[in-house]
Chain A
Amino acid sequence: MMGNAIEAQGLTIRRGRNTVIDGLDLTLPRGAIIGLLGPSGSGKTTLMRAIVGVQIVSGGTISVLGEPAGSALLRHRVGYMTQLPSIYDDLSVRANLRYFARVQGVPKSDVDRVIERTGLTGQADQLARTLSGGQANRVSLAAAMLGSPELLVLDEPTVGLDPVLRSDLWGIFRRIADEGATLLVSSHVMDEATRCDRLLLMREGAVIADTTPRELLESTRAASAEEAFLRIIEAETDTRDSTTRAAKSTNSASTNSASTRLLATRPLATSPPLRSPPLRSPRRSKRAKR
């Protein structure tokens, strides 16, 4: 049985008086790398914490690998890497991983495997405190990889790393995915979108696009992922504005009609209707040339 990796229905999360996520519906299939992108403060971490089961959920349901999120069975099947490297500074890399392996109940040999896979063999006996930021991040990733979980939830694993290290990490992610695991990777570096198989764009606690890197570029006629996201966000804002304006006057001759029409009805949430309806706007050809 394959089933979905993650299913959410009407997921609502409140923090104090703020509603961080309001009625989110989401279905993510198994396999592949799913990018969760969005500006900081858009609710990425909160959603990930809900998936791992450490977040208090105020409404709706969320299930992971067919079980309710956070259930005891899932603790062996889901690996979680928090935003800051959550490892013990005063232990060596190997001692950190040995401890997490014993907690996870996996054999010692797995420690060597994850050390090798994350390229930490040279630092294995170094105290975590003496590692560079990128190395500490990889220890944290290695801990999440222990026991080869079916789902890996990685919260901004590449934040603050130079392009070479980022590229190395994405190489590791790809290898894990090739072995059949599902990875949910958050980032606010939009250009990392092209490394994913599937993309979710979050903004203010809502998923405003559910697409693939190719569709994203094609539908927005943008040259880069970053530009594409800016256009989607622009269009989103315009849609909101124009719907309020439309309520006042039926004759809404919007100046930004091209981009608004392109994405007005959140077509990205369902992939097939993306390329329809065909656009006849004169502006479209200008955009396409760029």
Chain B
Amino acid sequence: MTPSRTLATAGRVLLQIRNDPRTIGLLLVVPSLLIGLVAWIFDETTVFDTIGPAMLALFPFIVMFLVTSISTLRERRSGTLERLLSMPLGRGDFILGYTLAFGLLAVLQTAIAVGFATVVCGLEIEESIVLLFVVAIADALLGTALGLLASAFARTEFQVVQFMPVLVFPQILLGGIFLPRDQLPNVLEVIGDWLPLSHAIDALTAVSTGGEDAAYIWLRILFIGCWIVCAIIVGSLTLRRRTP
């Protein structure tokens, strides 16, 4: 693994996306539109104040999951991955390159979504905005890492899209958006407590309401970080130079 190859890969991924303006538009605008829609639905209530931060956690995660799983699947299917692995590219170069590129996109996406949520929808942010970005980026990287993993188990684009309900929906359901986790049945509460998205939602809620101190938030970020590292390690094991 070498920095120049990792950066070359990240640059190449970003250049690919730059040549696809429609994807850029969707990536940057859709989260804000949906946040706006949720705010509008709960216009007369205070619900948006509680679930607004969770919305900010969801979008980078879902979008990055989809973008990464589909683009790595394309690499596997088009033969470019086979070509790269017959070249002196490390598996780490490949994965970190993708992580860097999509991490950068996640920062941009979050910046727009947070700007829209606070300025247009009136979401309050009590804690530091820096922490909010750190959580959102961790969230996006989690999506990238899980997307990479999902692409290894899918043979077609159809299958990879079906992996989203499997890997993403349970995390949304058990994350405490619909019902606070301590009110869930015991088994589900325990499962929910171990899922990474729950911690992202907790952290963003804390950032927004200011109910907890910074250590509480950093602990959650650390937990998400562990998930990212595990998913990347398992994902890199699925990138084999030799295949049957």
Q: Do A and B come from one complex?
A: yes
* A residues neighboring B (CB under 8 Å): 15-16, 52-57, 70, 72, 75-76, 78, 80, 82-92, 95, 99-100, 102-105, 127, 143
- Are B79 and A86 in contact (CB-based, < 8 A)? yes
Tell me the complex Cα distance, A285–B242, Å: 51
The bracket for how many chain B residues form the interface is: 20 to 34
- Are A76 and B88 in contact (CB-based, < 8 A)? yes
Known: A87-B80, A91-B16. 20 other contacts (CB 8 A): A16-B244, A52-B86, A53-B86, A54-B86, A55-B242, A56-B242, A75-B87, A82-B83, A86-B78, A86-B82, A88-B16, A90-B16, A92-B19, A95-B15, A99-B11, A102-B4, A102-B5, A103-B5, A103-B88, A143-B83
- Are A90 and B82 in contact (CB-based, < 8 A)? no
Tell me the complex Cα distance, A91–B4, Å: 19
- 26 CB contacts below 8 A, A to B, read A53-B86, A54-B85, A54-B242, A55-B244, A56-B243, A56-B244, A57-B242, A82-B82, A82-B83, A84-B78, A86-B80, A86-B82, A88-B78, A91-B16, A99-B9, A99-B11, A99-B12, A102-B5, A102-B8, A103-B5, A103-B8, A103-B84, A103-B88, A104-B88, A105-B88, A143-B83
- Distance (Å) between the CB of A94 and the closest chain B CB? 11
- Are B12 and A104 in contact (CB-based, < 8 A)? no
Tell me the complex Cα distance, A138–B218, Å: 51
Q: Which residues of B contact A16 (CB under 8 A)?
A: 244
* B residues neighboring A (CB under 8 Å): 4-5, 8-9, 11-12, 15-16, 19-20, 78-80, 82-89, 93, 241-244
B interface secondary structure, majority: helix
Most B Cβ at <10 Å: residue of A15, A55, A102, A127 = A102
- Are A88 and B12 in contact (CB-based, < 8 A)? yes
- Distance (Å) between the CB of A261 and the closest chain B CB? 41
Known contacts A82-B82, A86-B82, A95-B15: does B244 contact A104 (CB below 8 Å)? Answer: no
Q: Which residues of A contact B85 (CB under 8 A)?
A: 54
Q: Which residues of B contact A89 (CB under 8 A)?
A: 78
Q: Please give me the residue from chain A that is nearest to B16 by CB atom.
A: A90
Q: Please give me the residue from chain A that is nearest to B7 by CB atom.
A: A102
Tell me the complex Cα distance, A83–B79, Å: 9
- Are A86 and B19 in contact (CB-based, < 8 A)? no
Contact for B86 among A78, A90, A92, A95, CB less than 8 A: A78
- Are A80 and B243 in contact (CB-based, < 8 A)? no
- Distance (Å) between the CB of B71 and the closest chain A CB? 10
- Are B20 and A90 in contact (CB-based, < 8 A)? yes
Q: Please give me the residue from chain B that is nearest to A85 by CB atom.
A: B79
Q: Which residues of B contact A82 (CB under 8 A)?
A: 79, 82-83
Q: A-B pairs with the 4 shortest C-beta distances?
A: A86-B79, A102-B8, A82-B79, A75-B88
Q: Which residues of B contact A75 (CB under 8 A)?
A: 86-88
- Distance (Å) between the CB of A139 and the closest chain B CB? 12
- Distance (Å) between the CB of A249 and the closest chain B CB? 43
- Distance (Å) between the CB of A95 and the closest chain B CB? 6
Q: Which residues of B contact A76 (CB under 8 A)?
A: 88
Q: Which residues of A contact B12 (CB under 8 A)?
A: 88, 91, 95, 99
- Distance (Å) between the CB of B5 and the closest chain A CB? 6
Q: Which residues of B contact A91 (CB under 8 A)?
A: 12, 15-16, 19
Q: Which residues of B contact A105 (CB under 8 A)?
A: 4-5, 88
Tell me the complex Cα distance, A43–B61, Å: 43
Q: Please give me the residue from chain B that is nearest to A55 by CB atom.
A: B242
- Are B242 and A103 in contact (CB-based, < 8 A)? no
Tell me the complex Cα distance, A169–B39, Å: 61
- Distance (Å) between the CB of B144 and the closest chain A CB? 19
- Are A90 and B19 in contact (CB-based, < 8 A)? yes
Tell me the complex Cα distance, A89–B11, Å: 16
- Distance (Å) between the CB of A132 and the closest chain B CB? 17
Tell me the complex Cα distance, A163–B89, Å: 36
Tell me the complex Cα distance, A248–B200, Å: 77
- Distance (Å) between the CB of B25 and the closest chain A CB? 15
Known contacts A99-B8, A103-B89: does B241 contact A53 (CB below 8 Å)? Answer: yes
- Are A103 and B243 in contact (CB-based, < 8 A)? no
Q: Which residues of A contact B19 (CB under 8 A)?
A: 90-92, 127
